[in-house]
Structure 1
Amino acid sequence: MFGSDIGIDLGTASVLVFVKGKGITLQEPSVVAIDKNTNQILAVGQEARRMLGRTPGNIVAIRPLKDGVISDYEMTERMLKYFIHKTVGRKLFFKPKIIVCVPSGVTEVEKRAVIDATNEAGARMTYLIEEPIAAAIGAGLDISKPNGHMVVDIGGGTTDVAVISLGGIVVSTSIKIAGDKFDEAIIRYMRKKHNIMIGERTAEEMKINIGSAFPRNEETYMDVRGRNLVSGLPVNIKVSSSQMKEALDETVTAIADAVHSVLERTPPELASDIANQGIIMTGGGALLWGLDKLIEKRTGIPVVVAEDAVSCVAKGTGKALDSLHILEQGLSQSRSRYR
């Protein structure tokens, strides 16, 4: 098969792959299951995620990315290789050019790790694009004009807040509080308030079904099963959305604070553009109920959650593939040593 150019949203929680001419062809969790005894990969993606918290001693299900950056280089490389082969096939006449998204606050060392891992996984040339830029392009904003746009991209590991104008980031911040921290906050709350231990997957289901960042007009409930820390036995309790608001209060306030601090540093002309056009939210974390309302109340600026918020960054990388010649000035790039 001939090599197709690829855009990868390499997220802490999930990986989305955009193939030029085909669109998003893969969306799977960033999880790898390996046998510790043989160091052999047993499963990647959805299949490996089902193993989280359910494996025997010799099998570990790990997330090779933490807080938006690579924490396990070898596993990230092997995971990328698996997803690239799954997307474009194993037999390639030409290695693909690949654009990978990174948080706006990553260091040069972290960028180099992503470039090296992608090259080793089979890229002919690797480009890096900052997530807020990709999110803005994917959300359909025209970032080439001298107008200010504010994007809040809430992924699994990081929240990126950026003001974009003339194709570049003017002011930004990246905080390591996002979807994963929401889950951790829910686990802590359940342990502290109800003396119950729950797993990551249960916490994520609670976040999706009854998670709240703002008071709801109508209370919603969910039956949650966990292990009682006193008796050690499984128990079932009913949890409300107002309890979830209490659990998530600290983390969502930190995100609202980050948006506020970026607005404080935004040049007045661009700030007035943002006040007129509103703030756009992307990423899976943007779907938390009421988070847009909380930011709107805090800033006094209308907030819109992008259509298909989860796929915005991946779609943005795909569109960026069409204009590599323009974006090359602002993108980090590296030729693969294995051309």
Structure 2
Amino acid sequence: MIKIKQLKQQNEIKRLFKLYLEGETNARQEELLFRQLNEGGDKDPILFEEMKDSWENEPSSPDNSQEAEESFDQIWLKVEKKSHKRLQRVQVMKYAASILLLLSTGLGWYAYQKKESIKTVQLISKITRAGEKLKLILPDSSVVYLAGNSKLNWPSHFTKGNTRNIYLEGEAFFEVKHDTTSPFIVQTANLRTRVVGTSFNVYAYPDDKLATVTVKTGKVAVAENVKGKVKRLSFLTPGMKLIYQQNNGKYAVSSSTNVNEANSWTLNRFVFRDESLKGVLAGLERYYNVNFIQKGKHFDHYKFSVTFSNKNIKDVMEQLHIMSGNKLRYKITNNNTVITVWEEAAK
């Protein structure tokens, strides 16, 4: 009966040892492995041979990097601390001699995996042209709709338990896969938007005065992040919109936004609320891939609240012409250029 128990214990140690080398052990299993070795597992000749083989099969050139040294020190301190209560210093060193093979092999695997991780985790970048829309699927199955004249950077894969960091220049609508252990963070020039699982729109073109975050579902935390200094701004829930002035950091929060407007542009429905004509034309440039030439004044003086649903650029301009009381004149050329003239007194 005792031999059967010892055999089971030996097999368990070997099983945990193999898992350790493969990087598949959790904290509890590693604690159990060290404890069993401390209680006599290091005297097991079969396990010792297995450890010896692993040591001999390791690459001859050791990893002397600072990270490897620090990792070894941390593990060594844990081993010494756990063993000190029951063993004298001499006994600890005797124990350490036998377990050194295990530690060295494990550290070699750790350093190798870390280097491989750095090699394989690449930053993927996508840039859209004016008038272009892209639907992207991220490694965690989150969905991103990228608007025109925008750029999105993201890692080739996400690590469970770590933050999912995304970098945006321009506009994008996000449908984030829920994962409470891995917060999803969208970083723009000045804003950091943090979520767990929700859908929201971020508008943050570097050359625009305003940046906005609009929530459709879930909850969003928005913070200012300028030169590494983070300042929390607001928590947003569905229908809320944060409007941030990129030149001075001032912001306001609106709670009356229609949730369906958050991603309306992905459905070719463009909504402008109390927007200057200059701002409307800037948005239309990105959505329709046209170039506006503005002649005259007053493009910044007048505000428009308008919606364009599945209209071509000619119909859009005609609608603006009528809404302006015929003061906005336009001419569409053959090379996707729209010449606009504002006449204060139409004749």
**What TM-score do the two structures reach when normalised by structure 1?**
0.26
Please tell me whether Structure 1 or Structure 2 has the larger radius of gyration of its CA atoms. Answer: 2
Which of structures 1 and 2 has the larger relative contact order (alpha carbons within 8 angstroms, sep 6+)? 1
**What TM-score do the two structures reach when normalised by structure 2?**
0.25
